[in-house]
A and B are shown apart, each in its own frame.
Chain A
Amino acid sequence: MKNVAPKLTQEQYERNFAEIHPPLSSNSAVAEANRCLYCFDSPCTKACPTHIDIPTFIKKISTGNLKGSAKTILEQNWIALTCAKACPVDVLCEGACVYNARGEEPIQIGRLQRHAIDVYFERGMAPLFTPEPKNGKSIGVIGAGAAGLACAAEAALLGYDVMIYDANEKPGGLNTWGIAPYKTTQTDALKEVQLVQSFGVKIQSGVRVGEHISVETLSKRHDALFLGIGLGSASRLNILGEDLPGVVDALDFIEKVTTRNWSAVDVGKRVAVIGAGNTAIDAVTEARRLGAEHVMILYRRSRVEMPAYAFEYELAKKDGVAFHFLTAPARIIGNSHVEGVECLRMQLGEPDDKGRRKPEPIPGSEIMIPIDMVIKSVGQSLDETFVAQIPNIKLHIGRIVVDPNTLQTTNPKFFAGGDCINGGKEVVNAAADGKKAAHGIDRWIFKR
């Protein structure tokens, strides 16, 4: 990279990556909890993919029963802290809060959940759940992300021996490696891992299944296997100059930022992020917070089709991100490193198979944007070479096919959940899947 943005002081980094939603004080948590109407059959609970009994856990905060509150939350969701901090609450629980209909601010459910779990963790994770007696069966979980951890926790409590195999040096998957530090931290993700381990779950880190140990071996070792493998490598742009130094994948970039060793992460003075999903927003705001002087999003469709949530878009705008809509990168320019991106202006045509209007280039509309660093964020795809090692597994448009009730794949011994079955959704969906799959496995093994 030629024009590396000057490094900031540690103080500036800390300020830039300070939490957007800081913890509630005990007093303000009780005050907020007291605002809750304690709805019956509540819309917030229905909106939560893990169906946490939200009014009940909030009521317990208001009475000072914080241990009970944590139990109510964890009963439904083993990834409760990351969800509390990283869930798109605006479109889930808080978006469903009845206060919205009354024209008032919704209850801050995410922050209240965080309060209950923070306190529970701070006070030493007193045991809340009694595992069933050991049933003599063993489950192997591939991937220690949200889905894998949730499946492991639930299965361990059902009486299974559970071993998780994870390729990274630290477990937690994207919770540990893929969330912006102003939302959550590795430390928090690892506390959740610790909770899961407290149920007797074992984790082998740095083990890449298919490389260090074969699928076949695991298949013999365990009575059932859960695939919580997420998605694989980032999709390519397939344009000229894509492999120049200074072009990086968003998830690789975000991963470096999660380590909090911010001065070691180089960013260009002028940074373009290609794509406009929630990951792209994370990448572009993080580049800005690391000191990039000009940051922009290049997106070939318009604002209407943009996959990023409205609140993420607002966050990026506040960070001074320039959004170039209907702008498709045609090639990345540079000899030994990135110097610019040549883009084509687009117009929208007929809707495609997902119902989004297809962008079409406007002939002769080439523009050159001088750029020092390109971050690619146009999605990831399933690691199909790995999946191919498992016999009889069916895929459909890049996703593992499962029975929606049990999450069993077309190979009965294998179950799957999270991004590898949904193409990339929220942590909370993975948490819900993992739990559901554990019960799916239990029903299959014991023919319940």
Chain B
Amino acid sequence: MVDLSINCGGIKSPNPFWLASAPPTNSAYQVCKAFELGWGGAVWKTIGEPVMNVVNRYGAIDFNGQKIAGLNNIELISDRPIEVNLKEIAETKKLWPDRAVVASLMVESKRETWHDIVKRTIDTGCDGIELNYGCPHGMSERGMGSAVGQVPEYCQMITEWVTEVSTIPVLVKLTPNVTDVRYPGRAAKKAGADGIVLINTINTIMGVDLDTFELKPSIGGKGGHGGYAGPAVKPIALNMVSQIANDPEINLPISGIGGISTWRDALEFILLGATSVQVCTAVMHYGFRIINDMTEGLVNWMEEKGYQTLDQVRGQSLKRIADFGNLNLLYKTTARIDESKCIHCNLCYVACEDTAHQCIDLVPLNGKTLPKVREDDCVGCRLCFLVCPVEGCISMVRKDDGTQTITWNELMKQLPQPLTWEALRQFQAKHGIEIH
């Protein structure tokens, strides 16, 4: 029997799927509806300072006919008063005691103001607090959101104001709009946070209208940067999650966010160290009902692989992360085309010929053309594998026998320093590596 329950920094939920703090968690009506459909938790839309929104809040990137590969927003934190939100949080928690109800907070940078909001939040009976240090628009200009997350010292200071009064777990939500997300992460750790949430949205301008030259979306003729989310940001989020997870100075539970649309996406975050995962864009596209496949797909995968709990899965891929200097220079692959599967689109050919290493030939075959890899010339770059539209047609076949391993870092200890091209050439020649 598979158990999907998790405990993220003291916040427990029956499954790892939480709704992220965003428009889908604006009200008790929405959160209760989501819980009915099976969501394990919800981080309430951030409550705090008085705000007022504008219209045309969202912009999206479509890709080759697919809608919303990425979604950008300029919506602010909750535009409903604090007391309304706190009342609804309390009611929701009472109705759903087994689900994770987390309040997201953002107030001005004053110790008393934070003390006050934290105490009022604890009174709702909710399971935890998430500190919104991420919003890259609207709030940041007022000294909140990413303005805090981008300065580790502020991050630490405000987190301390919260942890010094909070009796419930405190999660810190980080902005990706920094050069190294580990610095604000370490600040949160030093301030006593119970967990890290990442990533918040990325600064983006979504596009320009080619007829009016206005930005997309246009708010009465003007527009500006917003916060970007959705499937397109997932690889960025995965990297940042793994950076936090692998940082020995942080060592905190992680709630992962960023383009999670399916159980498969969720598993990737969990394999890179996330305990809970948060979802927003996918529900904004398809509604809360997607939770059905998310939980079912995850259970089926775990059963198939023989796992009972997510603790057995979590972080399994972290040990697979290595710096470039620790990768094996003598690992060799070549592209190989399964001729029986080739549909003769020749995309591999043109990609290799124009933009890689010119090692695929087109051979005439019954009025069509068959791409053929010259394996001795193939550098194993994998571009053809990526462009091939047929599953299993091109594979990267291992060429070395696995007996020899040397990384860049090891090689640099062997070769005379400073390194010369000649020394490197000799090493390559010794191992039959041709550069062309």
Contacts and interface: CB of A to CB of B under 8 A. Distances in A.
A40 B343 contact: no
A107 to B, nearest CB: 12
Given A102-B389, A102-B390, A41 B65 contact: no
B343 A98 contact: yes
A40 B347 contact: yes
Contact of A62 (B64, B367, B368, B390): B64
A148 to B, nearest CB: 30
B349 interface: yes
A34 B64 contact: yes
B344 A43 contact: yes
Contacts of B343: 98-99, 101-102
Contacts of B369: 41
A46 interface: yes
A38 interface: yes
Given A34-B65, A98-B343, A43 B368 contact: yes
Contact of A41 (B64, B346, B389, B390): B346
Given A31-B65, A34-B64, A46-B367, A101 B344 contact: yes
Contact of A30 (B65, B344, B349): B65
B37 interface: no
A213 interface: no
A18 interface: no
B362 interface: yes
Nearest to B354: A40
A446 to B, nearest CB: 34
Interface in B358-393: 362, 367-369, 389-390
A37 B368 contact: no
Contacts of A42: 345-346
B82 to A, nearest CB: 44
B344 A38 contact: no
A26 B113 CA distance: 55
A39 interface: yes
A100 to B, nearest CB: 8
B396 interface: no
Nearest to A98: B343
B362 A41 contact: yes
Chain B, interface SS category:
loop
Interface in A350-404: none
- Tell me the dominant secondary structure on chain A's binding face: helix
A114 B401 CA distance: 55
A5 B215 CA distance: 64
Interface string A12-52: 00000000000000000011001101111111001000000
Contacts of B367: 46
Contacts of A46: 367-368
Most chain A beta-carbon contacts within 10 A, residue among B345, B367, B390:
B345
Contacts of B350: 40-41
B344 A37 contact: no
Nearest to B64: A34
B345 A39 contact: yes
Nearest to A99: B343
Contacts of A102: 343, 389-390
A39 B347 contact: yes
Contacts of B65: 30-31, 34-35, 62
Contact of A40 (B64, B345, B389): B345
B69 to A, nearest CB: 13
A40 B362 CA distance: 11
Interface string A86-109: 000000000000110110000000
Contacts of A39: 344-347
A37 B349 CA distance: 14
A439 B401 CA distance: 59
Interface residues of A, number: 17
A41 B344 CA distance: 9
B346 to A, nearest CB: 4
Nearest to B66: A34
Contacts of A31: 65
Contact of A98 (B64, B345, B349, B362): B345
A37 B387 CA distance: 10
B292 to A, nearest CB: 27
Contacts of B389: 37, 98, 102
Contacts of A40: 345-347, 349-350
Interface string B330-352: 00000000000001111101100
Contacts of B347: 37-40
A146 to B, nearest CB: 25
A393 B236 CA distance: 73
Contacts of B64: 34, 62
Contacts of A101: 343-344
A360 to B, nearest CB: 36
Interface in A388-441: none
Of B64, B350, B390, chain A has the most CB atoms within 10 Å of the CB of B64
A296 to B, nearest CB: 38
A172 B318 CA distance: 70
A17 B368 CA distance: 38
Interface in A200-219: none
Nearest to A46: B367
Nearest to B342: A101
Contacts of B349: 40-41
Contacts of B344: 39, 43, 98, 101
A98 B346 CA distance: 10
Contacts of A30: 65
A42 B343 CA distance: 10
A40 B355 CA distance: 14
A81 B77 CA distance: 55
A42 B390 CA distance: 16
Interface in A316-332: none
A11 to B, nearest CB: 36
Interface string A182-199: 000000000000000000
Interface string A258-280: 00000000000000000000000
A179 to B, nearest CB: 29
Contacts of A98: 343-345, 389
A37 B362 CA distance: 18
Interface string B59-70: 000001100000
B66 to A, nearest CB: 8
B321 to A, nearest CB: 34
Interface centre among A39, A40, A98 (most CB of B within 10 A): A40
A404 B389 CA distance: 38
B139 to A, nearest CB: 37
Interface string A146-188: 0000000000000000000000000000000000000000000
A34 B390 CA distance: 17
A117 B368 CA distance: 28
A101 B368 CA distance: 13
A398 to B, nearest CB: 29
A38 B64 CA distance: 12
A254 B45 CA distance: 69
Nearest to B345: A39
A361 to B, nearest CB: 40
A98 B64 CA distance: 19
B385 to A, nearest CB: 15
7 tightest A-B CB contacts, nearest first: A34-B65, A40-B350, A101-B343, A39-B345, A98-B343, A40-B346, A34-B64
Given A39-B346, A40-B347, A98-B343, 9 more contacts: A31-B65, A37-B389, A39-B344, A39-B345, A40-B345, A40-B349, A41-B362, A62-B64, A62-B65
15 contacts: A30-B65, A35-B65, A37-B347, A37-B389, A38-B347, A39-B347, A40-B346, A41-B346, A41-B350, A41-B362, A41-B369, A42-B345, A62-B64, A62-B65, A101-B343
